[in-house]
Amino acid sequence: MDKLLITGGSILKGQVDIAGAKNSVLPLMAATLLTDEVVELSNIPHLQDVTYAIQLLSGFGVDVCLTERMTVKFQANDLTSVEASYAIVKSMRASILALGPLLAKQGEAKVALPGGCTIGARPVNIHLDGLRAMGADITVEDGFIHAKADRLKGTTFEMHPVTVTGTENLMMAAVLAEGEMVLKNAACEPEVVDLAEFLNAMGAQVSGAGTSEIRIQGVEKLHGVEYAVVADRIEAGTYMVAAAITGGCVRVNHVNVEHLQLITEKLIQAGAEVTVGSDWIEVDMQGRSPVPVNIETAPYPDFPTDMQAQFLALNAVANGDSTVIETVFENRFMHVPELLKMKADIQLDGRCATVKGVQNLVGATVSATDLRASACMVLAALVAKGDTLIEQVHHIDRGYERIEEKLGSLGATIKRLHA
């Protein structure tokens, strides 16, 4: 297993190009199952999860062709299987996103149950209940979800709690269904909107994406399309926090500035000077230490749970006290014990972390436990005194492309140690 060795103290300066969004490219790739025609996706990020998703689709018999850097062609006109093995689902729980499109297009799907992960139980009951409401026959046995349906029928279905991939799975199931599907209490994340726009570019009739009520009018078939994946707002937010935590000045390029409004506001509260361009944002901390900012996560457009760990790192070195409340996942503070090894001062009480900012974190050997916790450890290491060795970095490679290259180009002292 690779490790990252980071020496703290560098002040990050420069520009970084932000890649396509991991949490958009995965549903978009699943949606290529919905047509027999060629789909070309560009702005694809170079991530381990994309490699897993290509393996998943290839396993169904989808023809996948990497044409040039960051562009891939898919054609699902000759599927040989509707089964997603436990091996692939274990590697990437987002494989569950194949369920809706396979059922809609092939009338059958067999997907291994994604287990929980370190951040929570991650059940998929809402996905299954929604498909049942559309007329699917679903059994769960021997660790597999087995779904069958001659033709799904649109209905009205309300989701509690808000679920991003649940909304995406049911949207994909509905585009070829009979009649109209109404999704209530739908997720409003930008990645849900990106999927709706992609489906409509393929000839679907989806309206209301980005609001809590999405309507899908089923159509007979979808056609091929060329489409660019939306920018990754979480990668961008992570580099913006990297500027703030090191007292530096970093500009993130090729972003959708609207998707980063709340992150930008929080960084201004933390004391950064922020300049917003048409498709770029510059965060300039001017050598200052951060001011503490209170955080409470919630579904979009509120503060994203995927940025909670990053802001916890920032608060750990702020000049004052703050609270970080995680309302989406039940166990998303695995980065706290690792920060404590670096001499942070954090008290955990259920879903609330109370942080007392310290003058210095101290380098240590720490473990990455999940994707965003890994990002937290990298941010903490950038500003800690001395060296930090981060183990289990396969977690970080799932969601951040070429992280040591991008951080190195901003002046960080970071290198990957190959096991």
Residues forming contacts to ligand EPZ in the complex (CB under 6 A) are: 22-23, 26, 94, 120, 122-127, 161, 163-166, 305-306, 328-329, 371-372, 399
371 three-state secondary structure: helix
Whether the Cβ atoms of residue 376 and residue 339 lie closer than 8 Å to each other: yes
Q: Is residue 272 within a helix (H) or strand (E), and if so which, with residue range?
A: none
Is position 117 annotated as part of the catalytic site?
yes
Under DSSP, the state recorded for 112 is E
Residues 6+ away with beta carbon under 8 Å from 58: 64
Residue 122 tokens, joined: 């991650």
Give the chain's radius of gyration (CA, Å). Answer: 21
Instruction: Classify burial at 253, counting beta carbons within 10 Å of its beta carbon; exposed 0-12, middle 13-18, buried 19 or more.
Output: middle
Whether the Cβ atoms of residue 258 and residue 239 lie closer than 8 Å to each other: no
Cα distance between residue 403 and residue 18, in whole Å: 11
Closest CA to 327 of 346, 307, 352, 292: 352
Whether the Cβ atoms of residue 26 and residue 114 lie closer than 8 Å to each other: no
Whether the Cβ atoms of residue 169 and residue 96 lie closer than 8 Å to each other: yes
Whether the Cβ atoms of residue 99 and residue 83 lie closer than 8 Å to each other: no
Q: Would you list the DSSP string of 117-166?
A: BTTB----HHHHHHHHHTT-EEEEETTEEEEE-SS-B--EEE-SS--HHH
Query: Exactly one of 65, 117, 188, 249 is catalytic; which is it?
Result: 117
Nearer to ligand EPZ, 26 or 225 (CB): 26
Distances from the Cα of 52 to the Cα of 89, 115, 337, angstroms = 9, 16, 30
Using omega within 30 degrees of 0 as the cis cutoff, is the peptide bond preceding 301 cis?
yes
387 residue type, one letter: D
Q: Please, what is the minimum distance in Å from the beta carbon of residue 113 to ligand EPZ?
A: 12
What residues are labeled active site?
117
